[in-house]
Structure 1
């Protein structure tokens, strides 16, 4: 009997075509709508392998019912949507797709930084709404990026790639990380600071951390008040790292100057979310890795992880519990 695979979102045939001969594949056939929980629960009961997205919360109750499941392949670098502890305890492997989205996400992060600093989205609305009547000296003026200080919170792969881009703008680089990275300090010309000091000296602060119990709500009002009034906060990591209520108050009352957000605590973000009402916030629908080439690579890596796990081989991108600490 062929192993059964369930895929929680429609993927291109070029990605899954070579699976069809060796596996019994079932797939949620919607591209824009996540698989309903009751459907996911029923499919997982019989599946040997699961390929899922960040939109699926694979919790302990689902894992307990998946009696045949051997591997969960997450099509993302993050894996906070999966109860890795419960899966590992039951001998179920969990994998992710690191590396392939590093450069693309760094591109988007720096682009979001530029767009927020120079008020590009606000300027586009200004033009399209017919408000542009003439040129004036201080019209839609923003913050300079070149020569400014960039503080990176979390110097992982994407944080390092972001630092390389910032060097092209002659930015001064500082970072905070759980552990110091001496080799990267030398290679990138980046200085280590405490989180508090980084927030105080940076013109731009980019959050590049995974969401864990330790990083949840790491940036609240106390931290926001340490930042410059002219500072810009960028988050392309995970929404739960920043306290959104505190951020709204800080932006509304000009505690900080602006924010650029690609991620939110709740996704998709409700259209009546207070942050969407502010002119000094640039918002995106979690598109950090959204280039055609990168999304295809992510899907390919997820499929490869599935095949290796179902073949009894250690998947190359196995998530280990010690990475959760």
Structure 2
């Protein structure tokens, strides 16, 4: 029996690629260049499955041109905002993602960004790295203390709960907004808010951990930043689309926000060059899940979903 033909659009971990090649007739993008929409459409006529990352866009226009041979898209990501799920469902193409396995790694990056932004890591690193550290005084490089402060979390899913666990290690008081209140077992003492209007005034630090949807796009704007305590710190490791970037920049410039830690941007790759002009922005290039253990686990989870599908079973992470 012929193996299903699988296109892997980006260079996955070595362990994931080794497993894929054993079980599938694989076409691998060894050069790791992001494919164009035209390439995606053309490849759909040659393969039974695609294993893409969030860098590959399956919008309605692209989806309508996909070949009927393609049966499943097994995403190497938790977020599926790069996929038009309704259009793919209409086309009869199944879609899966990789939840659970990247929660801890992403929460680590959120913690890093929060600490780095609060303690002025960008400015301090530049001083030492550029040979400009020439003085010291009690007023030198004073930042915001994280331990014992109030942390607000928007989106108390797996990553949000992992972030809350990290924060409790710093004796932070955790507040959260979610579509529904968690059980006491999952809350672990966190304080629930049923509206953002209630949450934001209680956030010395705010961390985003919700998906990008039509309802959440631009959820953090000028009015919302103004509701936070003056000189608070903002962190985003979820999706750039959640933030109106011009409003965030203005809030950082006028002192409403003390600092921001960002791992994602509206435009990726590349980010927003206006952020680079601000010394109170600590930035990373969307590497929340970039550990060897997590990348192996993400690749394996995507392959688990493909294995189930081609065995005639329902994949555990079916989203469309």
Residue segments in structure 2 that go unaligned for 5+ positions in a row: none
Question: 2:37·2:62 contact (CA, 8 Å) conserved in 1?
Answer: no
Separation of aligned partners in 1, 2:67 and 2:123: 48
Structure 2 counterpart SS, 1:143: coil
* TM-score normalised by length of structure 1: 0.93
Shift of 1:21: 5.0
Deviation digits for residues 242-290 of structure 1 (CA, Å, limit 9, x no counterpart): 11011111111112111100000110124x6211211111111001111
Quick check: 2:49–2:70 contact (8 Å CA) kept in 1?
A: yes
> Displacement, 1:219?
0.7
Alpha-carbon distance in structure 1 between the residues aligned to 2:134 and 2:19: 58
Pairs within 5 Å for 1:225-304: 225-270=226-271, 273-304=273-304
**In the alignment, is the contact (CA less than 8 A) between 1:104 and 1:290 conserved in 2?**
yes
Contact 2:15 2:296 in 1 (8 A): no
Contact 1:71 1:310 (8 Å CA) reproduced: no
CA contact (8 A) 1:238 1:263 kept: yes
Contact preservation (8 Å) 2:151, 2:205: yes
SS of equivalent residue, structure 1 residue 138: coil
Equivalent pairs, count: 317
Aligned CA-pair RMSD: 1.6
Report Cα offsets for 1:282-322 as digits up to 9, x if no partner: 111001111111011101111221222123211111114xx
Specify the alignment match of 1:145 in structure 2. 146
Which deviates the most, 102-111 or 230-239? Answer: 102-111
Distance 2:118 2:310 in 1: 47
Q: Partner residue of 1:170?
A: 171
* TM-score w.r.t. length of structure 2: 0.95
1:208-227 CA distance string (max 9 Å, x none): 10000000000100001111
Match of 1:131 in 2: 132
The answer as to whether partners of 2:234 and 2:259 remain within 8 angstroms in 1 is yes
Retained in 2: the 8 A contact 1:200–1:228? Answer: yes
For residues 173 and 257 of structure 1, the distance between their equivalents in structure 2, rounded to whole angstroms, comes to 19
For 1:103 and 1:217, locate their aligned partners in 2 and report how far apart those are by CA, in whole Å: 26
Counterpart-to-counterpart distance in 1, 2:104 and 2:114: 15
